Chain A
Amino acid sequence: MELILSFLHNTGFALADYRHFIMIAVGVLFIFLGIAKHYEPLLLVPIGFGILMGNIPVFKGLGLGIYEKGSVLSYLYFGVRQGIYPPLIFLGIGAMTDFSSMLARPKLMLLGAAAQIGVFTTFLGALAFGFRANEAGSIGIIGGADGPTAIFLSAKLAPELVGPIAIAAYSYMALVPVIQPPIMYLLTSRKERLIRMSDSRSVSKREKIIFPIAGFLLCCFLAPAALPLLGMLFFGNLLKECLVTDRLAQTARAALIDVVTILLGITVGASTQADIFLTASSVGIFCLGAASFMVATAGGVLFAKLMNLFSKDKINPLLGAAGVSAVPDSARVVQLIGNKEDPGNYLLMHAMAPNVSGVIGSAIAAGVLWSFLL
């Protein structure tokens, strides 16, 4: 009888409190959004399941929890803590990304830079709300709309906040189709949304091969702290474009990125253990993250309008919203809204230019914050 009672005391039911159930509900919501709504399913499903795994109440000392030394999850989490997974994901992203649209119309890169205003504005906001400088930097990078970059920077600057920051970053990335359109409508007139972009020039293979080398050297000389992210991004792209390393490129953009995404998603999800995750600072991070995303979107759109004041070749200001580096979701949102106003207006390819430059911009911003705040 005593044995049975002891067993019952050690079950999850006996150890659970309300916080575990809240987190389990969040995990189920993520899985629902991923499967039923198709919001970033490759990320939300592993993260959602990771949240479930991290919130099964277990006996401390058994070596099961992600924060317990020697547990399997803690070994897998090592890649997040040490910032190993994000550069590997960037390698895969580089091997998938086609920079042609950006190379064909380089001035759209400035929209990717403008959207990084969200990062630095939120950094100021987080400081004003009482977060320490290193924490504020990690929170600000959520506005870069780049999950791996946010995880990388918070692992370096504020490891205790990796969980909430990653969850906030990926949640808002998944909610791009919900967050961005109202801001885009608010800041643009119908006439502006109807602007059609002229055709881009064709980009030669040599340009595509030279770009990752030249881009890497330039960006990393400028912001050496961005080396792990940008090095892998440009290396992956070189593998894709140089034609002689197709096997490596194929592995990077398929098997490798999938494996790392699974590990990253599961461990980031599992790191949201209720007792560590459900705090006032997590709520603050979520609010600031949303603000960061909105300011980044607004920054891109307003900068596009500013560019139109000085440029003969007008650009559709909706493209500014693609400056946040949620690839390719924000570009897709731009296409949807542009297409809704004018069914013959195809903005997707043009929107990919600020979108991929946003990836470079957010990695530079992360490098800059890291070097300033470490």
Chain B
Amino acid sequence: MFGLQAISSANGWIISASGISIVFFGLVILCGLVASLHKLLYLWDKRASCLQMAKSALLSTEDREAMISKATGSETATSEEWVLELLPEWLETYGQFRLLTGRLSENFSLPCLIDRAEGLGVQKPCSSLDALLKLGIIEEGEGEFRGLYHWRKDVEDKILPIHRVPAPQGKGVHA
């Protein structure tokens, strides 16, 4: 059998139409997911402040005042503790180096870490590590571990995400 008759008898029209529709549908959904992924991650990073905003929106004026005074008090109480606020990109850099050191010993050598980072395509590993050292997230060891480095103890509990105010849209500015 040949021609249009062969196509019809093998359900060719239906298979083709549904096939291309499924491919398009799949990639459109994937496109939507990819397009919203960074926004979802942004919201995830901001979840604490979002929850706070949602809570305050639900509270009565008196409760809100009480909460504000409580929050001020806790801020004073915690102001003496060491807390580090990082922008999302620095949080990511921190996370990447955490992963990279996961398979090294607790005290690791910086050149070795830089080699691994370069090998895996991490961008600007030297300046990133320098910044982590300056922020005190990575510290040099003492005694027999001099020359080796380790993560500051309880650093994970002390890091808080902060978010940059969006830059005004204009030439040369990228989101």
Contact = CB atoms under 8 A, between A and B. Distances in A.
- The answer to whether A and B interact is yes
Interface in B38-52: 38, 41
B34 A211 contact: yes
Contacts of A357: 27, 30
Contact of B29 (A116, A130, A218): A218
B99 interface: yes
Interface in A209-229: 210-211, 214-215, 218-219, 222-223
Given A106-B31, A123-B12, A243-B96, A364 B22 contact: yes
A288 B10 CA distance: 18
Given A204-B92, A205-B96, A244-B102, A368 B37 contact: no
A127 B8 CA distance: 9
Interface in B1-45: 1-4, 6-7, 10-13, 15-16, 18-20, 22-35, 37-38, 41
Interface residues of B, number: 47
Contacts of B33: 214-215, 218
A313 to B, nearest CB: 13
B30 A215 contact: yes
Consensus secondary structure, chain B interface: helix
A133 B89 contact: no
B41 A204 contact: yes
B41 A207 contact: yes
Interface stretch (A23-31, A68-76, A107-115, A178-186): A107-115
Nearest to A116: B23
Contacts of B73: none
Contact of B31 (A109, A124, A136): A109
Contacts of A205: 92, 95-96
B10 A109 contact: no
Interface of A: 102-103, 106-107, 109-110, 112-113, 116-117, 119-121, 123-124, 127-130, 132-133, 136, 199, 201-207, 210-211, 214-215, 218-219, 222-223, 242-244, 246, 357, 360-361, 364-365, 368-369, 372-373
Given A116-B23, A128-B2, A210-B41, 5 more contacts: A103-B34, A110-B24, A123-B15, A128-B7, A218-B33
30 contacts: A106-B30, A106-B35, A109-B27, A110-B24, A113-B23, A113-B26, A113-B28, A117-B20, A121-B16, A123-B15, A123-B16, A123-B19, A124-B16, A127-B12, A128-B4, A130-B1, A202-B174, A204-B41, A204-B89, A205-B95, A205-B96, A210-B37, A218-B33, A223-B22, A243-B100, A243-B120, A360-B27, A361-B23, A361-B27, A368-B18
